[in-house]
Structure 1
Amino acid sequence: MPKRTLQGVVVSDKQDKTVVVKVERRFTHPVLKKTVRRTKKYHAHDEANVAKVGDIVTIEESAPMSKLKTWRLIEQA
């Protein structure tokens, strides 16, 4: 099964080798037929501490590294 990749914005880089990425998804509400925005935060592993707040990054699913970190940073856009 291929690993999922998501794109989002870094909202926190205070932790060592960890960034918090906010990912937004849009979908049409089944009853209201209106576009709805939902966001979710993911903790991602950033080995080199290169990502800063406001950067757009791509993260990929990985094996769990800690209680919250199950994603890793792929690239910085």
Structure 2
Amino acid sequence: IGRASSGLRQFDRDSQTLVQGNENHLELTYQAQVTPWMVMQPDFQYVWHPSGGAPDWTGLRRVGDEAIFGLHNSITF
């Protein structure tokens, strides 16, 4: 969990823009030894309220939640 500072939240209120709050992040990963020389590691991450719910480029809506998928491969010779 990350949280915007009280100073930033007050600045947002004074500027009459969307006030930023908490960001929550979840990551799930697993390493699988596929062969004696290769390891595969899938990765899934989800972020709720990126940057504490910062406004998007329009300034009218908040940036949406994000899902990130990744795959890491390690080969040893």
What's the TM-score once normalised by structure 2's chain length?
0.33
What's the TM-score once normalised by structure 1's chain length?
0.33
Is the strand fraction higher in 1 or 2? 1
